[in-house]
Chain A
Amino acid sequence: MARYIVRRVLNYVVLLFIACSFAYLLAASFLNPYSVYFGRQPPVDPAVIENVMRECNLSAEVSVWNRYLTWLTNIFTHWDWGCSPLRVSVNSDIGIRMWVSLRLVLIGTLGGIVVGVLVGAWTATRQYRIPDRVYTLLSLLVICTPSFVLGIVLQILATKVNDALGTRIFEFVGEKGTVGDYPFAELVDRMQHLLLPTLVLILLTSASLSRIQRNLMLDSLGADYVRTARAKGLPKSKAVMKHALRTALIPTGTYVAFTVATMFVGAIYTERVFSFPGMGQYSVDAILAMNVNGIAATTAFAGVCVVCGAILSDIVVAILDPRVRLGR
């Protein structure tokens, strides 16, 4: 298994290198970082702009290929991923934002997984009865709702509730706001800001996961070994929990493993709607602000997370499922 993993990691390293180079070259040749300084009052001296661009390795007077080589050298020699056209270091930006993303996504994803698994497994045991039909319809509806629509709808509702109660129970701008003067005020404030985005993430994750879990559970409920267990006289609840659910949880396990690694990447739309300065927001801002180095670094970061998730989930499935043999 170790050899197999090493081989895959090597393959991924090559893929990642090409993906990042591609992203860098594309961004460097398509985007115009100079435009960040256009239309400023008072106007910035072109010579000053050029100096900044040279310093940040963004100058249009240097060929794309040379900029690419400088970019690579900086990364491999100093682990320096460059800076934005406004001279903010990409390293420090990502270093801060990945934790913001994690704080946002952690509860939402884990909660969504738990809810999704429970709802999926439960509706499977009630196939085609009313609760199953209701949950199926609801989850289909949520799956068809993009996260930004869901987020804004929740914001509108929350404002209505806030207005009706006359206090601000729901907060939906940023990670934290004005902190009151009582014990644990900061924690309460953070929780208030987390409430709505977490709800969005739980709804989205659980909706799609519950569909998958329901189908997995239906498969394993119809399996021979569950029937055998029942025929031997095992109570239904035990057969369902110990024989059906446990097998049906294997693919979910791989999903969890994958998610743990990709949590740092954040949630683009949820962060955008709720103004969380996380990685998802950063990647969009990087494109809007012509931040070539930021785009390349985000690609690399997301790529590493996805690859780690993929490898992690392969290992998890090999541990959980004795039928899977790695390294064939």
Chain B
Amino acid sequence: MSEDLSHPLDASDELSADASDDFAVVTRIGHGRLTLRRFFRNKLAVFGLCGLALLILLAIFGPMLTGWDYLEIDKRAFLKAPSSSHWLGTTRTGRDVLALTLHGMSRSLIIGFVAATLSTLLSSTVGTTSAYFGGWVERVLLWVTDLMLIVPSLLIIGVTMRGGLSGNMAWVALAFMLGLFGWMTTGRVVRSLTLSLKNREYVLAAKYMGLPAWRIIIRHILPNISSLMIVDLTLGVGYAVLGETGLSFLGLGVQAPDTSLGTLIGEGAQMAVTYSWIFLSPAAVLVFLVFCINAIGDGIRDALDPSSQSGGAVGRKLRKGKGSAEKQRADAAGVSAGLPGGTGEAGGIVIMEDSATQGGGSQ
């Protein structure tokens, strides 16, 4: 990739530093290094990365530090405010809120990662195949996408969870359901990107050399949309976490005795006004977690986007509008969901998280 061509200022900045030492040696920075540098220049993104790392460490090692197991019941402490033995208080059944929060956080995180991975896999597969093959494959896949957009995912996931799936492994099913209903919007974006790639010379050359379609898709098309997929994966974790906590809050997701941040918030919500600690700690963790994930996602997107200036101070005055990159953020951010049906670009419309039954995500 001719990345430094599109970053004349960034690149020359790095080049001149080396050039002053020795004119003969010119260090070129690869695309990966450049992206990393741009990412780490972004304070909010670095903050998010540190925060997420901290939360993951807490989820792994935290339970060893609290002294209480999340299933353990302290019969001498029902609904007790934070104290020295229970740092964040106890619930109505005498379970330690800190231990519950830590367990719930790891549960929510795992669900988020599984669901986001699945939906990214689905969206890239459906998007690329439908655009690459065209014809009836495209028609069928587009039609399925439209259908899935119309079905209120929250209801469907809720019915499935309420109907048959319960017990300790219910979260696996929940994660898969969330992934299954989270790919449609990105799938449409991937499709339109693939449409513009599939007639490029190198794709045609590979085709005429007799490469099978799946190889062309994996070797020549996917790498070119990989930045979108990475961003989608990161932000997808945040949406899956929100979707999971929402369903669990309504009592349609992770069920007791297992717990997630949403289950815990749902439990605390009933008494939030009088016994606020049960609600406050999982809620604070949830908001912080999603904030970190979104900050990382935004940071990666800006770092990968050649036209974005938020990663570097050089050349800020040159461009005013941030253009398509930020619009894609809005898309990826799930605040907008492509509409089912026809016009594609013209029909791109925003669906708010809360206003429609659509989207086990956030909504």
Please give the residue numbers on chain A whose beta carbons come within 8 Å of chain B beta carbons, in ascending order: 4, 8, 11-12, 15-16, 18-19, 22-23, 26-27, 29-32, 105, 109, 127-128, 140-141, 143-149, 152-153, 155-156, 159, 201, 204-205, 208-209, 211-212, 215-216, 218-223, 251, 254-255, 258-259, 262-263, 265-270, 272-273, 280, 283-284, 287-288, 290, 295, 298-299, 302-303, 305-307, 309-310, 313-314, 317-318, 321, 324, 326
Contact = CB atoms under 8 A, between A and B. Distances in A.
B254 to A, nearest CB: 15
B154 A268 contact: yes
A221 B250 CA distance: 43
Given A144-B290, A222-B321, A295-B155, A287 B357 contact: no
Nearest to B309: A128
A251 to B, nearest CB: 7
A284 B158 contact: yes
B333 A211 contact: yes
Mostly, the A contact residues are helix
A255 B323 CA distance: 19
Interface string B142-155: 01001100111011
Contacts of B242: 146
A219 B265 CA distance: 40
B351 interface: yes
Nearest to A328: B343
7 contacts: A205-B355, A268-B357, A269-B246, A284-B250, A306-B150, A317-B346, A326-B343
A227 to B, nearest CB: 10
Given A140-B294, A295-B155, A313-B339, A18 B147 contact: yes
A310 B152 contact: no
A149 B355 contact: no
B189 interface: no
A258 B320 contact: no
Contacts of A317: 346-347
B339 to A, nearest CB: 5
Nearest to B327: A215
A270 B336 contact: no
Nearest to B347: A314
Given A27-B159, A215-B322, A269-B249, A258 B353 contact: no
B173 interface: no
A96 to B, nearest CB: 18
Contacts of A18: 147
A250 to B, nearest CB: 10
Contacts of A288: 162, 251-252
Given A218-B321, A269-B246, A204 B352 contact: yes
B342 interface: yes
Contact of B333 (A29, A143, A146, A287): A143
B119 interface: no
Given A15-B340, A30-B163, A212-B336, A268 B363 contact: yes
B59 interface: no
Interface of B: 143, 146-147, 150-152, 154-156, 158-160, 162-164, 238, 242, 245-246, 249-252, 265, 269, 272-273, 276, 279, 283, 286-287, 290-291, 294-295, 316, 319-323, 326-327, 329-330, 333, 335-336, 339-343, 346-358, 362-363
A219 B323 contact: yes
Given A19-B151, A152-B272, A306-B340, 14 more contacts: A15-B147, A15-B340, A23-B159, A31-B163, A140-B294, A141-B287, A148-B265, A153-B283, A156-B279, A208-B333, A219-B322, A299-B152, A313-B349, A324-B343
Contacts of B333: 143, 208, 211
Contacts of B272: 152, 155-156
6 shortest A-B CB distances, which residue pairs? A30-B163, A222-B321, A208-B335, A215-B326, A222-B320, A144-B290
Given A313-B339, A314-B347, A269 B152 contact: no
Nearest to B276: A156
Q: Which of A105, A144, A153, A270 has the most CB of B within 10 A?
A: A144
Given A303-B150, A314-B347, A267 B238 contact: no
A216 B335 CA distance: 14
Contact of B155 (A211, A259, A298, A326): A298
B286 A149 contact: yes
B159 A268 contact: no
A283 B155 contact: yes
B350 A147 contact: no
B150 A146 contact: no
Contacts of B159: 23, 26-27, 30-31, 287, 295
B265 A26 contact: no
B241 to A, nearest CB: 9
A71 B7 CA distance: 62
